[in-house]
Chain A
């Protein structure tokens, strides 16, 4: 059944939305793209008064097929590795011009954990007043799903294929947040598309602090992770609820907040939805060991960050996504 549209046309409605949307429709992200969603949510939380520096990657490619652009904010892509430095330059320029416009850098995990890490470290060390947002989809998706240092242990990618000698990626996911924290910047946090209110709150906090801020946003990739298009949020939520992707906030390198997990799910709830972990469900002792390994990694996170909820609250893994009649979720 197709519903009647209201009297205003979609293009009229689009112009009259109650919040500014920095990322417009018509971009060429895959169906169900978590990064497109994450970028949309982040730019919404930022508002229009910003300059954005964007690293090479899916987000860059799917938003800027000349002569079209999906951006409604001033935006610059330079190269893969230099995003934090470009943002540093923008910030220096605005400071010199005494303008208060915010500067935000966007990068994927490849551009952040790997090739852009040095420039990022420099930006953080110099404490530029820049919010760096990393959209973490845990592999080089733009080039066809190659492993990055952010790819989880044991995950399949085209360069970490499982086979007779290997069970997916041999190495661990890089603990980037700890590296970031070691710069003792004013604010660093992990976030996810599964908890949009929490994400927006963190973005606002990151913009509010004077100095460098960093947020890594877990952004599901249906294509690279091998889950159904519709399940991105489900998968991302389970990443948090299993303890595999802890939601934490750090100020000056110290842990100041963590989203408690009210009901801790076994990691298999998360892994089972994704083809990149399919080989771990084979009837094979090594697969079983790797499953146990991933469970222990989650347990370790839960222990280290104290993630197990003591009692239910509205900011824990069950409460943080609660919706209200009438919308406009808190934060």
Chain B
């Protein structure tokens, strides 16, 4: 660092932390969606509190609260239906009907309060079931159907009121439960708000954690896909309307208990209010996205707004105008945001930082450098040519069988004479990368997108770990393993593995190079305690991991930083991190043991002057990412690599290359086995095999780790 100029220090500091990265990661959070409506709600309340004297008095809050309790149920009801991809316009009529039925039972027939309520809720369920049968099972359109039932329920209600209003006016039920529902409170909180909170919590758990809730959201998000996935679409659509009916009826019960008035204009226009509320809360109108919390936030905005307008002396027209305007605005923003959200995140997600690489070694074939390229990999004997899609890592068991993981998520096994028999050994379901054999002969695999898994000799797949401790204060949830890359096993059985990057996936990993930021980490899993612990944070794409021959340290490669690091796990230096090799001429990938006490290292690609220069100029990379499409971005060269051998002190001993990349353009791994070197490539179509001269021809990988078979 001595030769670092002042300007470089400044640039380094400038790009060390990024507010942009914070924003981009924040926007990806699902819980960010209700933040805008929530802020709006808070602002509306504050504005009215400021403009209207006495607005925030206890009396006003309680009376608004009681209205809110009733309206909240309806908002939740309509939200559930909208999340399922439908709409329920009949809520206003069901609300009025429930109000009437509850009053009729309680006042006229003098049924006890609990029974009246129960029967009313059942009536609500029945009305919802009418909608549900027509929409779910008969398959009618939700809009027309609920428009029709809205009219029918309202007409029936009017006929009932005409018939019974006189009798109802003269009779009056009496019950403390009833009075408590209408006017009671606990610690100043109105009864209906309490019940609403209870229903909201239960409903939230139902929608976000329960199987039917997931199914409902899935149907709303993509009905066809839900059907193909075997979800009983009809039954769940039916269910949503029944839920809607019951919740609306519950709102009606509270209304009945509070006002005791079976008037015919109860609930008129309520469906528009509830729709506006739900939309303002940010529930997506095309279905699949939304929560109960969001609908309640929306309900708050609508009620407070109407209440405030009334306090201002504006009625009738003005309320309608505001409602219509808010609804247009909210849906408009929602539609635009939903359409452009990913584009916006994409624009700001990649955040380059300053990174300076040292001098490049000469790799020219004629040079005397140890990195001088040759064509020793060119004529490698091909195994599984054309039958393998991207064998990232290759490994041998004690019996000399060859294993590799491919893009389909399979682990292939080659056995028999000259490894000619190819078969699928196991299926992982993710993208298998680095592999190692443990003491008991289980094949331990880093599966990108899943975590660390094992395959027993009987081919059964089991999980070792897929999460680690979460870092406090980090926006991205780093408890999940997104891109477990390579692993090795220490003599005590602990599994050391690298997670290349937290911010990109197995498909977009190369974009991490443009950041040059320490997004990866080294993690250790202890099978004895089954605990996973993050050892080292903020590593620049940690890739290959190899436990040293003496078992005292772990070597790991930092791909974009072109470095090999050594982390001591035992001995006097335990816990220390030091750089073993700096400024490699290429991007290092897997590291594996060689038979002579040295190490093999795969270079996935070779550095270019343009790449080195770009890494020193984060401003340039930022502009590039913003202004040109991503297939024209300047990526590092990962098309042409080689294999090098180094000793315990980091001295480079020899290089095996393939100039022009005919057989092995980019090399991601290699294993030595009984006198041969086997080559794997992340995007190659074969495994290569090269004869080594002057090596121990009985050397086997697992034996080197766990000793000869006893």
Asked if A and B bind, the verdict is: no
Binding site for B on A (CB under 8 A): none
